[in-house]
Structure 1
């Protein structure tokens, strides 16, 4: 873990994204930080120009609320997961649906791309995890083991492992180097509530947020818990590392977004400018912008976090 001291943050509201027809369930920045993707309860996926806040497109196709969205690391595609039991793969440049991935039996709650953008993992209320080949849309692996809904997932930076978090209060690290169909896995236990969100750092640390109101930062290679973050008064809905791994941002099911020192576990900032329940949070690739998606369908807020308290608005 990086032992550097995080710089002082300057925080201000800079953009509103306010044309959703329902709650914002998820948001994601494109790898270059130029586009913001939001998934809405209204069944649509929205694309925004991050700097201006201009709506680029509103995509229909799902027949139920969109629960999660994520860009591929190469920036060419994005995926959306829905209550309609499907995952959709979209072309960014054309804003067009390329494939509808069918196989889940209940709502799909999470999707994640492998670092090389060639595989996609999905999980949901059917307790199963499916790994798809992006190019063909074929199922490569079916991972079974969780005893309750799979709510979160993330590939390790090396593509060798996939982390999944479940309402069975466990995290499973699946070793994808093992032969098909047998896949070995390790179980990380320590949370006393449902696992609601997961995020790998670039160096391979893993952050997990839970209904027990805490965040754990793990070293998966040794199954060790490095630090526990306490301070949220409600369950943790979203977590994200800053690119330099000095900070972690978390959104609780409340009006608060917190910024933490990853080394000490100390809360550096509590951002109270969110207008409604903070459903999601994410850093831009340069670590200077933090976006939070709120539950109020008419108002969306982005918060600007910089190393300078007097930084100007972008």
Structure 2
């Protein structure tokens, strides 16, 4: 179990989930850690049994590359965002599509469930963010303000706000209830490709400028600038469940683990043959899954493969 940041974080095995038929753009663990969800440029979503790597199902319906996929917090649903300008919501148990959400005018790059499961956010090349009711599939709100494509999104763990990252180099934090004030966070010098909130009130943003910025939502300031990528694009950021460490993936086969106490890089994980794209911690923090553009999904395991069984 990864409960404290230390120099002892190591990789003892790598399991590959393949064959995908195109680039893997995103991956996600189900909340119970039984299923890994991946999406690719071939327009297909893949569901895998985490403990064995067995392909459980393929979800088809998109007519373009699937750019992002995510499970709801209770695991009952998963959602996908596509270059075909649509968002789809799927039932995990049956893999059937329950809602096709249309409203974006261009490619949809990001999709996120709120932690309470009531809302879904999507953003894309039309510079807009749309909020959807997950029960009815109806559009609830349109959030305007970004000056370029919206590439990333994440809800806070209390579902009170939504962060979005854009090609305009900014992060916007939108208050969703009551009198919460909207906030613009600036400092990146490139597109903001990924976002993640921690349970401790931190927000991480990764950019094509090669840096990860960690923001305190309480003080509204940047507390760390993590620069270990050599100016290559940061593709994904993910906090461990306890918020003590942050994982980041980048071009050039890099998967890094950062200490959130002092901002140090405590581990470089090896295993991918090419650039690493999506990454996500399992609910316990014992596993980190990352996808690459070599048509595979490498699962970085902290100890031995039997930790997958421990998760279940």
Q: Shorter-normalised TM-score: what interval?
A: over 0.9
> 1:116: which partner in 2?
116
- Asked if the contact 1:196–1:237 (Cα under 8 Å) also holds between the matched residues in 2, the reply is yes
> 1:46: which partner in 2?
46
> Measured at CA, do residues 7 and 243 of structure 1 come closer, stay the same or move farther in structure 2, by a change above 3 Å?
farther
- Asked if the contact 1:275–1:301 (Cα under 8 Å) also holds between the matched residues in 2, the reply is no
- Picking from 202, 212, 222, the partner of 2:219 is 222
Alignment of 1:291-310 (within 5 A): 291-297=289-295, 299-306=296-303
Q: Deviations over 1:193-237 (max 9, x none)?
A: 110100001222100001111111111232111111111121100
> 1:268: which partner in 2?
266
- Asked if the contact 1:29–1:282 (Cα under 8 Å) also holds between the matched residues in 2, the reply is yes
> 1:238: which partner in 2?
236
> Measured at CA, do residues 312 and 237 of structure 1 come closer, stay the same or move farther in structure 2, by a change above 3 Å?
closer
> 2:146: which partner in 1?
146
- Asked if the contact 1:77–1:92 (Cα under 8 Å) also holds between the matched residues in 2, the reply is yes
Query: Aligned residues, how many?
Result: 304
- Range 248-257 or range 61-70, more displaced: 248-257
Residue 118 (structure 1) shift: 1.1
Alignment of 1:37-186 (within 5 A): 37-178=37-178, 184-186=181-183
- Hey, what's the Cα distance between the residues in 1 that align with 2:148 and 2:200? 29
Q: Deviations over 1:235-257 (max 9, x none)?
A: 10000001121111000022111
- Asked if the contact 2:13–2:305 (Cα under 8 Å) also holds between the matched residues in 1, the reply is no
> Measured at CA, do residues 106 and 184 of structure 1 come closer, stay the same or move farther in structure 2, by a change above 3 Å?
farther
- Hey, what's the Cα distance between the residues in 1 that align with 2:200 and 2:136? 30
- Range 238-247 or range 10-19, more displaced: 10-19
**RMSD over equivalenced CA pairs, Å:** 1.6
- Hey, what's the Cα distance between the residues in 2 that align with 1:223 and 1:166? 18
Q: Within the alignment, does 1:187 sit opposite 2:169 as a pair?
A: no
Q: Within the alignment, does 1:198 sit opposite 2:222 as a pair?
A: no
TM-score, normalised by the number of residues in structure 1 = 0.93
- Hey, what's the Cα distance between the residues in 2 that align with 1:269 and 1:10? 7
Q: Within the alignment, does 1:209 sit opposite 2:206 as a pair?
A: yes
Gapped regions of structure 2 (runs ≥ 5): 308-312
- Asked if the contact 1:57–1:95 (Cα under 8 Å) also holds between the matched residues in 2, the reply is yes
Gapped regions of structure 1 (runs ≥ 5): none
> Measured at CA, do residues 312 and 67 of structure 1 come closer, stay the same or move farther in structure 2, by a change above 3 Å?
closer
- Hey, what's the Cα distance between the residues in 2 that align with 1:235 and 1:106? 23
> 1:6: which partner in 2?
6
- Hey, what's the Cα distance between the residues in 2 that align with 1:219 and 1:57? 40
Aligned structure 1 segments of 4 or more residues deviating by more than 6 angstroms: none
Alignment of 1:27-46 (within 5 A): 27-46=27-46
Residue 9 (structure 1) shift: 1.1
Q: Within the alignment, does 1:251 sit opposite 2:249 as a pair?
A: yes
Residue 273 (structure 1) shift: 1.4
- Hey, what's the Cα distance between the residues in 1 that align with 2:246 and 2:147? 29
Q: Deviations over 1:82-116 (max 9, x none)?
A: 00000000000011100100000000000000111
TM-score, normalised by the number of residues in structure 2 = 0.94
Residue 6 (structure 1) shift: 3.1
